[in-house]
Structure 1
């Protein structure tokens, strides 16, 4: 995906504790970066957060997470993490996060979540109002960082 295809970005700076002996971000931290950016994306939708979802007895469960490494990030780099909804299923939703350093595309990923009834841990239909809120956010133009 191209950087301009994203309507949402979250920035963060690489901390010393996140780099390995090679001086680059340890691979496992990219999933944390995806999670941080996705949390901010979700907050921007205005939809119920994890605490409210838990109280309602229906939550999003992670079903799949993948990472494709294109180039490494290093200590003190400022990273822009784009999050984009790539599609809805009946009970699931797929997001594509990408990490950039300036215009350089470093990392791509995929996150799939299933909306489920927590009492039986089974998927339930994705709420129409959630789909509409995400679609509205996706139509927004990127905000200058």
Structure 2
């Protein structure tokens, strides 16, 4: 991945409660940062700001998350979180994330979501798959 692969970024200021005794962001908070950025990405993609507003988001479940640490974010840093859908399957999608502070690449992440209805995986609506693919500037792998 490279910063140029992302067309959507969400800025976030690191709060005091998110740093540990070493003065750096505690690792688990990076997943919360990804989630905050994904919420904004979703609003830009679908126009829905609430769960259930688009008929898809309320049925998304995280099945895998990965964080690759390159350098720390610190208290009061303003970071830019890049979000993109990298792969769209029948009922799952893989999102890539990058966190940057200025020109410095801090964190790389990947989260896999499954679309499920009543506890069973369910295909994404075709309209959503098409909209997500058109929204991205870097090609989305379709499976």
RMSD: 1.8
Contact 1:3 1:103 in 2 (8 A): no
Q: Which blocks of at least 5 consecutive residues in structure 1 are unaligned? A: 141-145
CA offsets 1:85-123 (integer angstroms, 9 cap, x no match):
111111100000110001111001111111111x2x010
Per the alignment, residue 89 of structure 1 pairs with 89
User: In the TM superposition, what is the alpha-carbon distance from 1:139 to its structure 2 partner?
Assistant: 2.7
Q: Work out the number of aligned pairs and report it.
A: 136
Contact 1:70 1:105 in 2 (8 A): yes
Contact 1:86 1:96 in 2 (8 A): yes
User: In the TM superposition, what is the alpha-carbon distance from 1:75 to its structure 2 partner?
Assistant: 0.6
Indicate whether 1:51 and 2:49 are aligned: no
Q: Which blocks of at least 5 consecutive residues in structure 2 are unaligned? A: 139-143
Distance 1:30 1:43 in 2: 20
Distance 2:109 2:44 in 1: 20
Per the alignment, residue 128 of structure 2 pairs with 130
Distance 1:53 1:64 in 2: 23
Stretches (4+) displaced over 2 A: 51-54
TM-score by length of 2: 0.88
